[in-house]
Amino acid sequence: MLRNYFKIALRNLWKHKTNTFINLLGLTVAFTICLLLLLSVYFEFSFDKFHQQPEDLYRTYFKVQQPEKPILQSSMPEPMLKALKEQFPAVQYGTRYNRNGCEIVYNGKHFFNELAFGDPDFFTMFNFPLEKGNAPQALEGRNNIVLTRATANAIFGNENPIGKQLQVQSGGPWKAFIVSAVAAEIPTTSSIRFDAVVPFEHGFTYPATVGKWDATNHDIILRLKHGTDVKAFEKAVQGLINLQYKDYIGDLKRDGAVAAPNGQYMELLMQPYLNMHTDSSMRGAGETISRSYLYMLLSVAVFVMFIACINFINLSVGRSFTRTREVGLRKTLGALPFQVGLQFWGEAAIICALALLISIPVFYVVLPYYKAVFGSSLETGVLNQPVIIASIIGSFLLVTLLAGGYPALVMTRMDAVNILKGKLRLKTSGGLRNGLIIGQFAIAILLIGCTLVAWNQLNFLRARPLGYNSSQVVSIPVGQEVNGREALELLRQKLNAEPSVLSVTGLSKNMGVGIDGGSYTFSLGFDYKNRNISMEWLNVGYDFTQTMDLAMASGRDFSRNFSTDSSGIVINEQMARKMGVKDPVGEILQIEELNLPMKVIGVVKDFNFQSLHRPVEPMGLVMYKEMPINYLLVKVRPDNLPVIMGKLKTHWAQIAPRSEFRGSFLDENINRQYNREERFTQIFVYAAVVAIVLSCLGLFALAVLAIMQRTREIGIRKALGASTVSIVQLITKDFVKLIVIAMIIATPLAWYFMSIWLKDFAFSVQIQWWWLLAAGLIALAVALCTIGYQSLKAAFANPVKSLKTE
């Protein structure tokens, strides 16, 4: 019996090659895309699960009711961990965590690595197994350093590293460390990543922050005792917060902050460590990926699968009229309805199984491109996990049930006699079919619409003037090897005689995102005229405004002629507005935190020193000794840029011989800033193309079927004198109607979703109605091309022939 079904199924697939091809192609594409996207989503959600009892790990964060809006902050003050551990028995283990680049020297060889700063509990509370050494003591000694296996192998080769001495510097002086342990490789799904770990006290800002509750610069991760009620714990901690931040909470109340529903102005809350990777609301330990992005990937996967299933259903049901006779006959031969149903489901299962089998090698072929385009760190190993295999089989059965089950149901419900009598005018279940086509095209139009909006926004971001010269300025990351200030002086001297270099300066942060990917922000709040104002500080070198082509609104720039400029500040217009003074030049800003009076010496015109996600915020340029110079900026003549780049490279090699030259033009950095948006747009482009192609494939096959069913009608109409145009109209009219309905459904949805997305940006395009209309028209045009050929063929066919065959 099964063999009989199987045979019929295979012969049917072979006989209707177009349909088989379309179904197979659609399902293969859908399965491949689903595999890629679902595995990526699974991968991202599996972050940090390798720790033992990971549900007991939490990261602490502040929720502060600032007057404008509540803010979340994971950055913690130095005394916090100690206070939590001493006062609350629920805290079993805890560590502070920070990370920085470092340079390691051993036997005269230099290595550049990522250095983590942690507390002694670090290796006890996390599951980073040690290959050599023991966990509780690994960070106990003040000058201990723990290396990962890869780092240890790179530095020591075959030597036993335990007990060896290394020289390490990370933003401060060189220090000697003794290797106490070697850790196994860190799983790729770990938020915490490092090449080496040293005790937290070695952080270069540590001495300045000891005992201070208002200076924050690291994350705290706690392991609470198993079974701790987190809500109760957070409540218990509230007393400590209210005590330590009494003054700050007072300031908040004075500035008009509104208390949270529970009456608090500032809370210390616990974020489950497992959620950290997929929560992009806070910066801090580890890279994050926004959950909405993952949900978007999921919905794209579901959309694509849905479209492929619709094709399958429509084609199976549409073709069922040619198979009604077979079904009716089988019933008279004694087939039970479930046997007929099983047969049709089986045919769906065969196609799906084929598609799945093809999609797995395709998955492996496509994976590297996918990883490159979407910046995914997905690994093929994910595919071997039992959970994944089980869910692949599960979704496979679900898809065959959806795609094969409905047609099977239609078939089994048919009345045998009427079929055999030839009375049954199967209407190819019009309502459902039309609904499914509308659904397909609505998705396609939605995706095309989103693509157009995202693409316009991206162009807008890139083309918008930022208020400074980005095309002529090269930014060079200083790196770990040399001190920024010294490097700036050296470079200035070297480039002095270079005619193609216009000016040289330094800056604490990069503009945009450089090749090094690094970022640095320094913002602080202080009281001015009994109001708390927060601003960002950019630490600059001389000639900053000149290098960046910034214009002064009033006052003056930093100058070598004034020895007092180290306590001077150049503010932007936004800051001047915030201060609410007519002429801010000469005003004194009392920065209590740093014990500094800063004198405003000038006002610079607003420029976008951050990405266009944010409006221009209050900002000050300073030449403050305690802040680093992390990037050197060189303004060059616009001609012959590659040659200049080469010269900069050779000069840099003399200044920092062991470091790589990673300079890049600011406009490249600015583009890099919008990588996320670019990826977002790319996903839409790919999804839209797949959606429209698959939908049109289905439409094509349906048009062929519709024409086949109406051959006689078309023949009669032609014999009665219908024109070619009217025949084409007759066929296309129905489909066009459906696509127009899809447009009406999809356009407001696209508008709605994209306005939400655009809210992310302080500067965004206005969605134009004709972009969305264009999306619909594109879909319509593609669809018309698809069915146009078939209908023309039908219209030109000789009516006598079609009438004869009936």
Sign of CA dihedral 790, 795, 796, 798: positive
Task: Report, in Å, the least distance between residue 17 CB and another protein.
Answer: 14
Using CB under 8 A as the binding rule, the residues of this chain from 207 to 236 that contact another protein are none
- Binding flag, residue 8, another protein (CB under 8 A): yes
- Binding flag, residue 4, another protein (CB under 8 A): yes
Q: Which stretch binds another protein (CB under 8 A): 320-328, 352-360, 609-617, 683-691?
A: 320-328
Answer whether 62's CB lies under 8 Å from 73's CB: yes
- How many other CB atoms are there within 10 angstroms of residue 770's CB atom? 10
Q: Which stretch binds another protein (CB under 8 A): 35-43, 324-332, 617-625, 726-734?
A: 324-332
Largest CA distance in the chain: 106
- Which of 71, 176, 259, 329 forms a contact with another protein (CB under 8 A)? 329
Task: Report, in Å, the least distance between residue 340 CB and another protein.
Answer: 11
Task: Report, in Å, the least distance between residue 412 CB and another protein.
Answer: 12
Q: Which residue, 422 or 646, has its beta carbon nearer to another protein?
A: 422
Which amino acid makes up residue 701?
A
**Helix or strand (DSSP H, E) at 268:** strand 266-272
Q: Which stretch binds another protein (CB under 8 A): 138-146, 274-282, 327-335, 559-567?
A: 327-335
Region of 792 please: left (phi>0), alpha (psi -120 to 50) or beta: alpha
- Binding flag, residue 614, another protein (CB under 8 A): no
Beta-strand relationship, 266-272 and 57-65 = antiparallel
Say how far apart CA 563 and CA 540 lie, in whole Å.
16
Answer whether 577's CB lies under 8 Å from 435's CB: no
Say how far apart CA 777 and CA 783 lie, in whole Å.
10
- DSSP letter for each residue of 459-527: HHHHHS--SS--SSEEEEE--SSS-HHHHHHHHHHHHTT-TTEEEEEEESS-SS--TT------EEEEE
For residue 601, which of 552, 634, 648 has the smallest C-alpha distance? 552
Q: Which residue, 327 or 779, has its beta carbon nearer to another protein?
A: 327
Say how far apart CA 750 and CA 450 lie, in whole Å.
6
Q: Which residue, 348 or 437, has its beta carbon nearer to another protein?
A: 348
The alpha helices in 513-625, defined as continuous H runs, are: 544-548, 573-579
Q: Which residue, 165 or 332, has its beta carbon nearer to another protein?
A: 332
- Binding flag, residue 667, another protein (CB under 8 A): no
- Binding flag, residue 20, another protein (CB under 8 A): no
**Helix or strand (DSSP H, E) at 664:** strand 664-665
Using CB under 8 A as the binding rule, the residues of this chain from 412 to 471 that contact another protein are 416-417, 420-422
Q: Which residue, 332 or 798, has its beta carbon nearer to another protein?
A: 332
Q: What are φ and ψ of residue 312, in 5° steps?
A: -60, -50
Q: With contacts defined by CB under 8 A, how many residues of the chain interact with another protein?
A: 24
Q: Which residue, 361 or 422, has its beta carbon nearer to another protein?
A: 422
Q: Which residue, 333 or 725, has its beta carbon nearer to another protein?
A: 333
Q: Which stretch binds another protein (CB under 8 A): 259-267, 335-343, 467-475, 704-712?
A: 335-343
- Which of 15, 231, 637, 712 forms a contact with another protein (CB under 8 A)? 15
Task: Report, in Å, the least distance between residue 325 CB and another protein.
Answer: 6
- Which of 85, 193, 283, 330 forms a contact with another protein (CB under 8 A)? 330
Q: Which residue, 12 or 20, has its beta carbon nearer to another protein?
A: 12
Q: Which stretch binds another protein (CB under 8 A): 10-18, 100-108, 160-168, 210-218?
A: 10-18
Q: Which stretch binds another protein (CB under 8 A): 90-98, 287-295, 330-338, 733-741?
A: 330-338
Give SS3 for 564: helix
If you compute the radius of gyration of the chain from its CA atoms, what whole number of angstroms results? Answer: 34
Under DSSP, the state recorded for 540 is B
Task: Report, in Å, the least distance between residue 393 CB and another protein.
Answer: 29
Q: What are φ and ψ of residue 552, in 5° steps?
A: -90, 135
Q: What are φ and ψ of residue 659, in 5° steps?
A: -95, 155
- Binding flag, residue 339, another protein (CB under 8 A): yes
- Binding flag, residue 326, another protein (CB under 8 A): yes
- How many other CB atoms are there within 10 angstroms of residue 252's CB atom? 20
Q: Which stretch binds another protein (CB under 8 A): 114-122, 139-147, 331-339, 473-481?
A: 331-339
Which residue shows structure tokens 């400074």?
Answer: 468
- Binding flag, residue 325, another protein (CB under 8 A): yes
Task: Report, in Å, the least distance between residue 425 CB and another protein.
Answer: 16
- Site residues, another protein (CB under 8 A): 1, 4, 7-8, 11-12, 15, 325-326, 328-336, 339, 416-417, 420-422
